[in-house]
């Protein structure tokens, strides 16, 4: 995989879509609460599916498709499997073809990831095992050839989210002014992250004008010693529908490729079917 394709793939995967921008001073406001502790009943509906359109600089470049299965049990835990697939289309596929899948085993009682698998082109894949004891393992595979396991130890009870579980977590946030701190895992790195629930507003989407909860996020990458190792930060804005479905309607970020946007085009879940207006 070329470095350019890899960067674009990360960006389009929306975990990487939370893109680099110049940063003001990092906030250490005491009003932030731990997201892990704040969410008592994670909102993770079974058997739902999503389709988002991916655009850069206002031009469609591909899609992000997601689906969740039925709940089950793994080692005594209630678990649901959720998968996201990002794929470029049209000219973007010719210039930098991306067709990557991210599969997460989610703990239904905590809303946190237990395992994540990333499948990319040419048979490359990576698995990450998260442990509640404050560490996670990264096992990399390349065409079934196992590389050494890397373990990173985190502060006590600091279980990180991945993109799948962060989207689900944001569905539970609706109190304006509330701020939350969390750890976010993306592309083998841990990011210190802060979410702010800005408030409610009406947004124009492919589904029509919708009432939504606006959430703003800020992220800073950490090194192996868990110290922030970058003077830059990633920022994003997400809009969660202010209705019973609580779906991710839109997400925007500034990236090295230009303004990136995720727009919900279709959503299905047990009797509910939302589809973009033609």
Predicted local distance difference test score (pLDDT) of residue 274: 93
How far is CA 257 from each of CA 87, 103, 233, 253, 260, rounded to the nearest angstrom? Answer: 16, 26, 16, 10, 8
Distance (Å, whole) CA 204 – CA 214: 13
CA–centroid distance for 166 within its chain: 5
DSSP type of residue 161: B
Distance (Å, whole) CA 153 – CA 168: 25
Distance (Å, whole) CA 140 – CA 131: 17
Number of compact structural domains in the chain: 1
Predicted local distance difference test score (pLDDT) of residue 5: 45
Each residue's pLDDT expressed in tens, for the chain with a length of 278 residues: 344 444 444 344 443 434 333 333 344 444 567 888 888 778 888 999 999 999 988 888 889 999 999 999 988 899 999 999 888 776 544 345 567 889 999 999 999 999 998 887 666 778 888 886 677 887 765 545 566 677 777 776 678 999 999 999 999 999 999 999 999 988 778 889 999 999 999 999 999 999 999 999 998 888 777 778 766 678 999 999 999 999 999 999 877 778 889 999 999 998 899 999 86
- Per the prediction, the chain carries an average pLDDT of 81
Over the stretch 158-181, which tens digit does the pLDDT of each residue have? 789 999 999 999 999 999 999 999
Predicted local distance difference test score (pLDDT) of residue 1: 39
CA–centroid distance for 214 within its chain: 16
Distance (Å, whole) CA 210 – CA 202: 5
Structure-token pair, residue 82: 């959720």
Name the residue range of residue 265's domain. Answer: 3-275
Predicted local distance difference test score (pLDDT) of residue 95: 46
Predicted local distance difference test score (pLDDT) of residue 258: 80
Long-range contact set of residues 217-221: C-beta below 8 Å, sequence gap at least 24:
217/18, 217/193, 218/23, 218/26, 218/27, 218/193, 218/194, 219/18, 219/184, 219/191, 219/192, 219/193, 219/194, 220/23, 220/26, 220/191, 220/192, 220/193, 221/189, 221/190, 221/191
CB of 251 within 8 A of CB of 14? yes
DSSP type of residue 158: -
């Amino acid at each position: 995989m070329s470095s350019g394709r890899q960067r674009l793939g990360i960006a389009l995967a929306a975990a990487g879509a939370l893109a680099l921008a110049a940063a003001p001073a990092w906030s250490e406001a005491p009003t932030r609460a731990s997201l892990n502790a704040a969410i008592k009943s994670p909102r993770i509906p079974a058997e739902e599916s999503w389709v988002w359109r991916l655009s850069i600089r206002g031009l469609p470049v591909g899609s992000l498709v997601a689906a969740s299965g039925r709940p089950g049990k793994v080692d005594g835990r209630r678990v649901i499997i959720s998968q996201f697939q990002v794929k470029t289309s049209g000219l973007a596929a010719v210039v930098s073809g991306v067709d990557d899948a991210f599969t997460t085993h989610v703990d239904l009682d905590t809303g946190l990831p237990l395992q994540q698998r990333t499948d990319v082109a040419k048979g490359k894949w990576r698995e990450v095992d998260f442990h509640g004891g404050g560490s996670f393992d990264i096992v990399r595979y390349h065409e079934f050839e196992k590389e050494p396991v890397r373990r990173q130890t985190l502060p006590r009870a600091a279980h990180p989210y991945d993109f799948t579980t962060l989207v689900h977590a944001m569905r539970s946030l609706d109190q304006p002014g509330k701020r939350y701190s969390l750890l976010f895992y993306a592309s083998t790195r841990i990011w210190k992250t802060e979410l702010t629930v800005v408030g409610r507003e009406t947004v124009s989407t492919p589904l029509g004008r919708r009432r939504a909860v606006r959430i703003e996020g800020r992220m800073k990458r950490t090194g192996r010693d868990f110290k922030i190792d970058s003077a830059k930060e990633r920022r994003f804005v997400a809009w969660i529908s202010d209705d019973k479905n609580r779906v991710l309607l839109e997400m925007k970020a500034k990236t090295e490729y230009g303004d990136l946007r995720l727009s919900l085009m279709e959503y299905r879940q047990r009797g509910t079917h939302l589809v973009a207006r033609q």
